[in-house]
């Protein structure tokens, strides 16, 4: 039997385990990336491991999330990360150089290599045939130290693309269609591979839009073959030597196959408040729009921006719409300036934003009350924009630009413009002057680490307790996102390197009193529904609950990265054997767990006793052997230290 593309890369990087779906595998990691909102914590963890130089082929730290500097905190974190990079062998991408995923694709990604990043949209790299996976900061720290990265061996899904996109239907509509069919939890435990004749018709930036937003499927990653289109892209980036052709074997077997005829797709939108709430634009056309934002790691390539500029040529944006545009990287912005397209965007009345995440993570540009905001981004979770009652629609750049002009949701196919002459350049503008190389190893000793007063150490952890008696301190429903657990936004993000402080905001979007209640009770168990912890890779969604005394999270099912983050933090992730038991627990019930250490060690079922009702519920602790050892040790940092000390 032949191998799928992802299986080939996994096989070439396998250092532990067997390639049997669901069984844990350890992968050698070639490259890592971090961004600043997760990076400070990841580097504190890296420092705690006591490794001098990174052991990867390439590690890059990007500053793109916390770029709104309303106090000293973010700037201090940037300085800290810059000094860490210099000392420990990591490349440092300055603020202004662009969004991590866009820049990594342009300048560092290599087909066939493995990449993990402390950001859930790391799969953007799948656009050039990398096995690129989002992970918690601690996993990235371990990989930088030369340790393997562990995941359950995913199942393989093939998306067979046929035909070719019609004008004004774009890559965003492809991934929205996949989301419509698979849902936000349809990809959990799976890798999505794109194949078929239609692949050839998609450029690398278009492929990257699709793999980027594969994160919203809950998939481990998504990947495209590396082919002539990839070679041309790398050549245009002055990196043809990084090209290797890669594809799945003709007789590769997939667990699931989906077929999409590109020529049948229509412009689509993910309506509030979930990326899989997909509607046809034609069905929602005419709705009044208050804000249009174009950018984010999903849709901020040169190609996207050139199309928007073409739509805006000689026009003025609608007076009732606030239009913001954030080109994804310095390369994109520079090239837009050089070809005059930037001037077109400015003339039309767009607000040009920094090449950074910005509004996508609630760093500014919160829309007006009750607004309809059209965004080319990848997440539209309630409240993420910073305006609690705003409704965010996720759309393609073409659809966003059309609405920016008309003031209402508009099918871009009704526009009277042509993209026929818009193509990727033969040569991109290459200027890496905002990426600092690290100091040579022999000078590393001289580099001083700069720590600001907001940077607080990793919270205290302890080996798993054998018994826990505490209340169901919070009960939440299905599809709880990490934005619910640990909200972001301009006010809270500067606290990412200060767990005691950031924990005061934990779950406050669902329940204002949660942090105070945790402090009063000292410990607790969280009860949740399906797909608990979907979305971001932020380990803060595990570290803040850890700091607040959460001992276990009992749910119907988990999202992958968050479950791994709970394990890494030493919080017990448990699932109901019978999902109906979820309904029998009321917030505030007194609960008890006994004989935990032995049950976890032996992989046996655990009984949750409800002291308030007298009932028992059977729970599963579905973890690999290594994950069980991590939980027993009290988290990955303790586990790694114990291993070093042994």
Q: Give the shortest CB-394-to-ligand MIC separation in angstroms.
A: 12
Instruction: Reply yes or no on whether 239 is catalytic.
Output: no
Q: Pick one of ligand MIC, ligand SF4, none as the site partner of residue 296 (Cβ within 5 to 8 A by kind).
A: ligand SF4
Instruction: Reply yes or no on whether 276 is catalytic.
Output: no
Q: Which stretch binds ligand MIC (CB under 6 A): 241-249, 303-311, 413-421, 534-542?
A: 534-542
Contact 182, 216 (CB under 8 A): no
DSSP state string for 64-108: -SS---SSHHHHHHHHHHHHHHHHHT-EEE-TTSB-HHHHHHHHT
Rounded (to 5) percent helix, strand, coil in the chain: 35, 20, 45
Contact with ligand MIC (CB under 6 A): which of 7, 31, 38, 83? 38
The verdict on 121 binding ligand MIC (CB under 6 A) reads yes
Q: Give the shortest CB-129-to-ligand MIC separation in angstroms.
A: 22
Instruction: Reply yes or no on whether 597 is catalytic.
Output: no
Q: Give the shortest CB-421-to-ligand MIC separation in angstroms.
A: 34
Q: Which stretch binds ligand MIC (CB under 6 A): 117-125, 312-320, 387-395, 625-633?
A: 117-125
The verdict on 297 binding ligand SF4 (CB under 6 A) reads yes
- Among residues 204, 201, 259, 272, which one has the least CA distance to residue 233? 204
State the maximum Cα–Cα separation within the chain, in Å, rounded to a whole number: 72
Rounded CA gap, 240 and 231, in Å? Answer: 6
DSSP state of 276: T
Instruction: Reply yes or no on whether 538 is catalytic.
Output: yes
Size of the site for ligand MIC (CB under 6 A): 14
Rounded CA gap, 119 and 37, in Å? Answer: 9
Q: Which two tokens stand for residue 24?
A: 């844990």
Contact with ligand MIC (CB under 6 A): which of 536, 557, 624, 640? 536
Considering 13, 58, 65, 207, which one is annotated as catalytic? Answer: 65
The verdict on 296 binding ligand SF4 (CB under 6 A) reads yes
Considering beta carbons, is residue 77 or 581 the nearer one to ligand MIC? Answer: 77
Strand partners, 534: 481
Binding mask 545-584 for ligand MIC (x = CB under 6 A): ----------------------------------------
Q: Pick one of ligand MIC, ligand SF4, none as the site partner of residue 560 (Cβ within 5 to 8 A by kind).
A: none
Contact 520, 69 (CB under 8 A): no
Q: Give the shortest CB-527-to-ligand SF4 separation in angstroms.
A: 28
Q: Pick one of ligand MIC, ligand SF4, none as the site partner of residue 83 (Cβ within 5 to 8 A by kind).
A: none
Instruction: Reply yes or no on whether 536 is catalytic.
Output: yes
Q: Pick one of ligand SF4, ligand MIC, none as the site partner of residue 487 (Cβ within 5 to 8 A by kind).
A: none
Q: Which stretch binds ligand MIC (CB under 6 A): 145-153, 455-463, 535-543, 547-555?
A: 535-543
Q: Give the shortest CB-558-to-ligand MIC separation in angstroms.
A: 16
Binding mask 362-391 for ligand MIC (x = CB under 6 A): -----------------x------------
Contact 211, 224 (CB under 8 A): yes
The interface with ligand SF4 within residues 32-71 (CB under 6 A) comprises 65
Instruction: Reply yes or no on whether 79 is catalytic.
Output: no
Of the chain, the end-to-end C-alpha distance in Å amounts to: 41
Size of the site for ligand SF4 (CB under 6 A): 11
Contact with ligand MIC (CB under 6 A): which of 269, 278, 361, 591? 361
Contact 351, 312 (CB under 8 A): no
Gyration radius from the chain CA atoms:
24
Dihedral angle at the C-alpha atoms of 433, 54, 148, 503, nearest 10 degrees? Answer: -80
Indicate the SS3 state at residue 39: helix
The interface with ligand SF4 within residues 108-147 (CB under 6 A) comprises 119, 121
Considering beta carbons, is residue 489 or 545 the nearer one to ligand SF4? Answer: 489
DSSP state string for 400-465: HHHHHHHSB---GGG-----TT----SS-----TTEEPPPPGGGGGGPPP---TT--PPPP--PPP
Question: Counting Cβ atoms within 10 Å, is residue 436 exposed (0-12), middle (13-18) or buried (19+)?
Answer: middle
Contact with ligand MIC (CB under 6 A): which of 120, 226, 248, 396? 120
CB-CB neighbours of 590 under 10 Å: 13
Contact with ligand SF4 (CB under 6 A): which of 61, 99, 204, 455? 99
Q: In what order do the strands lie in the sheet with 391-394?
A: 278-280, 268-270, 391-394, 372-375, 291-294, 322-325, 351-352
Contact with ligand SF4 (CB under 6 A): which of 361, 485, 621, 630? 361
Contact with ligand SF4 (CB under 6 A): which of 144, 157, 360, 585? 360
The verdict on 581 binding ligand SF4 (CB under 6 A) reads no
Structure-token match 């919203």, residue found: 216
Angle (CA) 551-556-558 rounded to 5° is 70
Question: Counting Cβ atoms within 10 Å, is residue 258 exposed (0-12), middle (13-18) or buried (19+)?
Answer: middle
Q: Give the shortest CB-486-to-ligand MIC separation in angstroms.
A: 8
Please enumerate in sequence order all residues whose Cβ is within 8 A of that of 325, keeping only pairs 6 or more positions apart, or say none: 293, 294, 295, 305, 308, 345, 350, 351, 352, 353
Considering beta carbons, is residue 561 or 571 the nearer one to ligand MIC? Answer: 561
Contact 455, 503 (CB under 8 A): no
Q: Which stretch binds ligand SF4 (CB under 6 A): 266-274, 354-362, 396-404, 515-523?
A: 354-362
Considering 36, 64, 173, 276, which one is annotated as catalytic? Answer: 64
Considering beta carbons, is residue 297 or 631 the nearer one to ligand SF4? Answer: 297
The interface with ligand MIC within residues 482-501 (CB under 6 A) comprises 488
Q: Pick one of ligand SF4, ligand MIC, none as the site partner of residue 99 (Cβ within 5 to 8 A by kind).
A: ligand SF4
Contact with ligand MIC (CB under 6 A): which of 30, 119, 268, 304? 119
Chain centroid to Cα 354, Å, comes to 20
Considering 538, 560, 562, 628, which one is annotated as catalytic? Answer: 538
Q: Which stretch binds ligand MIC (CB under 6 A): 6-14, 164-172, 217-225, 532-540?
A: 532-540
Q: Is 461 left (phi over 0), alpha (psi -120 to 50) or beta?
A: beta
Q: Pick one of ligand MIC, ligand SF4, none as the site partner of residue 537 (Cβ within 5 to 8 A by kind).
A: ligand MIC
Rounded CA gap, 63 and 75, in Å? Answer: 10
Q: Give the shortest CB-308-to-ligand MIC separation in angstroms.
A: 21
- Interface residues with ligand SF4 (CB under 6 A) are 65, 99, 119, 121, 296-297, 357, 360-361, 377-378
Give residues in contact with ligand MIC (CB under 6 A): 37-38, 65, 119-121, 134, 361, 379, 488, 535-538
Please list the active-site residues: 64-65, 119, 379, 536, 538
């Amino acid at each position: 039997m032949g191998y799928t593309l992802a299986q080939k890369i996994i096989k070439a990087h396998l250092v532990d385990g067997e390639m049997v779906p669901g069984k844990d595998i350890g992968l050698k990691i070639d490259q890592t990336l971090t961004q600043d909102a997760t990076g400070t914590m990841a580097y504190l963890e890296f420092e705690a491991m006591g490794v001098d130089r990174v052991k990867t082929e390439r590690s890059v730290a990007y500053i793109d999330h916390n770029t709104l500097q309303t106090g000293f905190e973010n700037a201090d974190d940037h300085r800290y990360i810059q000094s860490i990079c210099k000392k420990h062998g990591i490349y440092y991408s300055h603020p202004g150089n662009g969004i991590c995923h866009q820049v990594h694709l342009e300048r560092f990604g290599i087909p066939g290599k493995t990449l993990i990043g402390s950001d859930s949209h790391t799969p953007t790299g799948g656009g050039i045939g990398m096995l690129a996976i989002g992970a918690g900061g601690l996993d990235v720290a371990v990989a930088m130290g030369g340790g393997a990265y562990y995941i359950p061996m995913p199942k393989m899904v093939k998306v067979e693309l046929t035909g070719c996109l019609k004008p004004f239907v774009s890559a965003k509509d492809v991934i929205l269609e996949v989301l419509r069919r698979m849902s936000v939890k349809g990809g959990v435990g799976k890798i999505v591979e794109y194949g078929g004749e239609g692949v050839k018709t998609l450029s690398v930036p278009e492929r990257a839009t699709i793999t980027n937003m594969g994160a919203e499927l809950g998939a481990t990653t998504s990947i495209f073959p590396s082919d002539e289109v990839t070679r041309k892209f790398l050549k245009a980036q002055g990196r043809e030597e990084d090209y290797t052709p890669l594809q799945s074997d003709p007789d590769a077997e997939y667990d699931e196959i989906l077929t999409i005829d590109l020529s049948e797709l229509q412009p689509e939108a993910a309506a509030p408040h979930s990326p899989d709430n997909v509607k046809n634009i034609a069905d929602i056309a005419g709705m009044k729009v208050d804000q249009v934002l174009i950018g984010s790691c999903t849709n901020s390539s040169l190609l996207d921006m050139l199309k928007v500029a073409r739509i805006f040529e000689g026009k003025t944006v609608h007076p009732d719409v606030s239009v913001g545009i954030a080109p994804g990287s310095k390369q994109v912005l520079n090239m837009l300036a050089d070809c005059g397209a930037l001037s077109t965007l400015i003339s039309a009345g767009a607000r040009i934003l920094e090449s950074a995440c910005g509004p996508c993570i609630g760093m500014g540009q919160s829309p007006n009350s009750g607004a309809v905001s059209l965004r080319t981004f990848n997440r539209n979770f309630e409240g993420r924009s910073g305006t609690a009652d705003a409704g965010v629609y996720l759309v393609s750049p073409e659809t966003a630009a059309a609405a920016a002009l008309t003031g209402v949701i508009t099918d871009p196919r009704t526009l009277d413009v042509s993209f026929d002459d818009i193509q990727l350049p033969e040569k991109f503008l290459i200027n890496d002057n905002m990426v600092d190389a690290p100091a040579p190893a022999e000078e590393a000793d001289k580099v001083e680490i700069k720590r600001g007063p907001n940077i607080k150490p990793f919270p205290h952890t302890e080996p798993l307790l054998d018994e826990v008696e505490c209340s169901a301190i919070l009960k939440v429903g299905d599809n709880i996102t990490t934005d619910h657990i640990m909200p972001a936004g301009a006010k809270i993000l500067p606290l990412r390197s200060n767990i005691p402080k950031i924990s005061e905001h934990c779950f406050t979007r669902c329940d204002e009193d949660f942090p105070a209640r945790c402090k009063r009770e000292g410990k607790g168990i969280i009860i949740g529904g399906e797909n608990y912890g979907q979305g971001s890779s932020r380990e803060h969604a595990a570290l803040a609950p850890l700091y607040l005394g959460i001992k276990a999270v009992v749910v119907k099912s988990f999202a992958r990265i968050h479950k791994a983050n709970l394990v890494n933090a030493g919080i017990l992730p448990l699932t109901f054997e019978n999902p109906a038991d979820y309904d029998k627990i009321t917030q505030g019930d007194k609960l008890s767990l006994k004989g935990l250490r032995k049950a976890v060690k032996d992989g046996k079922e655990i009984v949750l006793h409800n002291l308030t009702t007298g009932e028992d519920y059977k729970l599963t602790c579905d973890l690999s052997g290594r994950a069980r050892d991590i939980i027993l040790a009290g988290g990955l940092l303790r586990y790694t230290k114990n291993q070093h000390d042994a």
